[in-house]
Structure 1
Amino acid sequence: MTRRVVFEVRDQRVWSGAAGSRGEARMLAAQRQELILERVQRSGGVRVTDLVESFAVSDMTIRRDLDALESRGAIRKVHGGAVAPSGASTEEPGFEIKAQRQEHEKHAIAREAARLVEPDSAVGLSAGTTTRTVAEYLRDVPGLTVVTNSPRVADVFYRAARPDQTVALTGGFRTPSDALVGPLALTAVRSLHLDILFLGVHGMQEQAGFTTPNLMEAETNKALVEATRTLVVVADHTKWGTVGLSTIAPLSRCDVLVTDSGLGPRACETLAERVASVRIAEGDGATEQAG
């Protein structure tokens, strides 16, 4: 299996200070923020004073780093420092709440993911706000047979009303994320043979793999993964480091991961070692460099 590396991390430094003065070697902001994030993920929290001492930068510089990390959803700022984002492994926000998060990134990811689909394909889409966005970019692909356990995804195709597209919605019980799960959904999915599956996830992490906080949704998603020839995971950068209650699949099962440029270089390296292809969606295109 061909593996791809998104980009290589190099030890780049810039110098500040007047010419001829002692100056001071300082990391680029992106590198420093990645190291701060690693500390948060490893220990659960960091203090501003400790970071100022460790990186030999000002208090304001560290606070700007924390602002940047919080805007990515990677940390939560608290008085005097930062902690890992709150939320138990079983916490599951509703569909409308999740739909408002990372909208720009979701559209870039969905646009890139849709390019992987050929006309007349059998396409599976799991439930989720990112997969619903993928559906919007698939409406004009001719001859698709679409299978989904998401009424939200199915509605995108129903509204398009293309006579050359077939949409199958599984039955089942509805979860907070508007996924249909349970025996009816499993019976429908286990008889399928899909060309490609777009899987949305709650979190992705090196040991836990791709996860969800809902046990029944995990079971349905596992069945979808088993039914497909090509697995494409669509997940924005905020999903990295988040671990839900149940694993859907290990990172190595993924054929293509489509994410966004907010993902840090070390996370990209970890994913590129385990996933056959990692694509970073940016605007109208994506970056992917062979290792």
Structure 2
Amino acid sequence: MLAQQRQQAIVELVRQNGGVRVVELVRAFGVSDITIRRDLELLAGRGLLAKVHGGATSVGSTDEPGFAVKSVRQEGEKRAIARRAAALVRPGTTVALSAGTTTWTLARRLAAVPALTVVTNSVRVAEVFRHAGRGDQTVVLTGGVRTPSDALVGPVAVAAIRRLNVDLLFLGVHGMTVRAGFTTPNMMEAETDRALVEAASRLVVPADHTKWGTVGISTIAALREADVLVSDSGLPQPARQALAGHVGELLIAEEPGPAGPFDGA
């Protein structure tokens, strides 16, 4: 494939998906990391995309693709993480789930756990429990302003959360690094997520390996605030060592097989 053809294909991928990562493009086109980065710099210079840390997004993007775009990324890893994280929940627990496709995947497993009380600022997560139709579960959905990831954020959400106490919070994140901690590209969502962290006795962060090294504009919490971090087998060894030195406990989930009955459609 000629360079011009590859660059046209990159622009089309960004247009379709809202964003792409360098590692994905390297695999897709069979070229070096340096080649892809040069392509992105050239295309960004032409105004055809916006170059961001680790990849590129559509021009004018806030680096926050919508829920549908993110839900099809790292599906296998998210199912593995959800299985491992769900094992931390006991019947009768009060749990909070922030917005995100990983927490949504987890919700589809928690829908089978008896007598849960669920607090969430995610429209999608609330829908999972509504469709499950269990009479022994209670779901509290905060109000607020809706984001591209279907989170409810802002003063209304924060005020509602600050009146609550939960046993366990599963926090979805956009990125994580030692310096920046757990981050999001949406500053209002960061404020709401921080309220969730303050309301929880324990913090669990389910995050696949692609979140490592990614930095959103706003920090939610420092790595040391996480009691447990659940990631997948794709997390590189240097990242595991760095995270293990900061979070309370690092759990690595193995890759699952095909989607099971608790993984949803």
Q: TM-score, normalised by structure 2?
A: 0.77
SS of 2:119's partner is strand
2:239 aligned residue (267, 271, 275): 267
CA distance in 2, matches of 1:168, 1:74: 42
CA distance in 2, matches of 1:117, 1:123: 8
CA distance in 1, matches of 2:94, 2:34: 52
CA distance in 2, matches of 1:112, 1:197: 15
Q: How does 1:101-250 map to 2 (within 5 A)?
A: 101-250=73-222
* C-alpha distance 104-182 of structure 1, shift in aligned 2 (>3 A): same
1:81 equivalent in alignment to 2:35: yes
Residue type matched to 2:174 in 1?
H
Note the alpha carbon deviations across 1:192-216, whole angstroms, 9 max, x for none.
1100000000000110000000000
1:94 equivalent in alignment to 2:66: yes
Farther-moved stretch of structure 1 (187-196 vs 71-80):
71-80
Q: Compute the displacement of 1:283 (Å).
A: 3.5
Q: Which residue is equivalent to 2:23? A: 70
8 Å CA contact 1:73–1:85 kept in 2: the answer is no
Residue type matched to 1:127 in 2?
A
Q: Which residue is equivalent to 1:255? A: 227
Gaps (5+ residues) in structure 1? 1-68, 286-291
8 Å CA contact 1:74–1:238 kept in 2: the answer is no
1:279 aligned residue (211, 236, 251): 251
Residue type matched to 1:280 in 2?
I
Note the alpha carbon deviations across 1:6-43, whole angstroms, 9 max, x for none.
xxxxxxxxxxxxxxxxxxxxxxxxxxxxxxxxxxxxxx
CA distance in 1, matches of 2:85, 2:33: 40
Residue type matched to 1:120 in 2?
G
Q: Which residue is equivalent to 1:8? A: none
Larger strand share, 1 or 2: 1
* C-alpha distance 73-237 of structure 1, shift in aligned 2 (>3 A): farther
8 Å CA contact 2:183–2:219 kept in 1: the answer is yes
Residue type matched to 2:136 in 1?
D
Tell me: higher relative CO, structure 1 or 2? Use CA pairs within 8 A at least 6 residues apart: 1
The list of structure 1 runs, each at least 4 consecutive aligned residues, that deviate by more than 3 angstroms after superposition, is: 71-84, 87-90
Alignment coverage as a number of residue pairs: 217
Residue type matched to 1:209 in 2?
G
Aligned-CA RMSD value: 2.4
CA distance in 2, matches of 1:99, 1:244: 18
CA distance in 1, matches of 2:196, 2:27: 29
Residue type matched to 1:228 in 2?
A
Q: Compute the displacement of 1:279 (Å).
A: 0.5
Gaps (5+ residues) in structure 2? 1-21, 38-52, 258-265
* C-alpha distance 155-207 of structure 1, shift in aligned 2 (>3 A): same
8 Å CA contact 2:172–2:206 kept in 1: the answer is yes
8 Å CA contact 2:77–2:256 kept in 1: the answer is no
Rg larger in structure: 1
Q: TM-score, normalised by structure 1?
A: 0.70
SS of 1:274's partner is coil
Note the alpha carbon deviations across 1:64-102, whole angstroms, 9 max, x for none.
xxxxx8249999966853546224894111110000100
Note the alpha carbon deviations across 1:242-266, whole angstroms, 9 max, x for none.
0000000000000000000111000
